[in-house]
Amino acid sequence: MTNKRVAVLSCVSFNSQLVKRQLTNYQASHGNQAKHFLHVASDGDIDAQELLSLGNIDVDAATSSYRTSNLCNFGGQIANSKRLLISAEQFGYVYIHTDADLIVQGNLAEYVNKHQCGFLKQRPSVNWPHYKKMMEDPYFSALRDYLGIKPEEIITGRQEGSFFPIELWAEMSALFEKFYHEEFFSNQALLWPIEEGIVPTIASKLIGNTYPDFAPKVKNIVVTKPLKPAPRGINPRDISENCVNIEDIKQTLDIGSNDACIAMKWFSRNLSDPAAKFANEKLTP
């Protein structure tokens, strides 16, 4: 059976060369079976037009009035989804991720087609630094009330590397846009990484109500290395111990399934990073 195309959604802000490195890495995994929808931050240093002419890599890149930040860039994913859903092209699945991961094993499109839906599901902990902000978020509260989601039904978890059938994502996106307006993302006092709460919570509710066949049997594909605090003014990805190294990749592959698609996060911003080079070599031996 022919695989359905995958729409890959991400937000980018700075350093077009790093974005091109990631796109080249993903292309080596999925080939022509996917298209990248990139939200380019309006206050970054990337020219969206530059990302539209990358040879054989299929890219739709644009900026929008949605603000993004280190704390929350999900407004950019809402903007990406709006462009995706009015596109004349046909897609079967949506995959969401960030600009700091690279694939280290497998064909993304084949894996997504095989498993259909995968995202991280955890019960929220009161010790999570963003727990209080999440529970006090009036937009999340209104969204939960609209769908009849009780506090004990809230699900959290990092969502980079999650994927969903297009019909499920379209319904999720309509709800995100309905309740999270542009002004939310410009109000620093309200911000928290909302995708870690709204994506798994809403997906789980819709799957339970309408899409039982999409109940995930796998989780998201990105393995995220914990970040240690960085001094003020220093990007955490510029501290070597925070970044994925070659040994991290080898250990992750050793414990993972040989037929899985696996990505890892955080890779160094150094364009000559040995771990990033090693990841690409694993995909194109």
- b/e for 215-254, b at 16 or more Cβ within 10 A? ebebbbbbbbbeeeeeeeeeebbebeebbbbeeebeebbe
**Which pLDDT does position 188 carry in this prediction?**
93
The whole-chain average pLDDT of the chain stands at 96
- pLDDT tens string 218-248: 999 999 999 888 888 888 899 999 999 999 9
- pLDDT tens string 63-89: 999 999 989 999 999 999 999 999 999
**Which pLDDT does position 81 carry in this prediction?**
98
Q: Hey, what's the torsion of the CAs at 92, 72, 187, 77, to 10 degrees? A: -20
Give the integer Cα–Cα distance in Å for 113 and 95: 11
- Over its length of 285 residues, how does the chain's per-residue pLDDT go in tens digits? 689 999 999 999 999 999 999 999 999 999 999 999 999 999 999 999 999 988 889 999 999 999 999 899 999 999 999 999 999 999 999 999 999 999 999 999 999 999 999 999 999 999 999 999 999 999 999 999 999 999 999 999 999 999 999 999 999 999 999 999 999 999 999 999 999 999 999 999 999 999 999 999 999 999 999 988 888 888 889 999 999 999 999 999 999 999 999 999 999 999 999 999 999 999 986
Q: Which helix (H) or strand (E) holds 248?
A: helix 246-255
Which residues, including other chains, have CB under 8 Å from residue 151's CB and lie 6 or more apart?
A: 135, 144
**Which pLDDT does position 262 carry in this prediction?**
98
* Residues 192 and 130: beta-carbon distance below 8 Å: yes
Neighbour tally for 208: CB within 10 Å: 11
Give the integer Cα–Cα distance in Å for 119 and 174: 19
- pTM higher than 0.95: yes
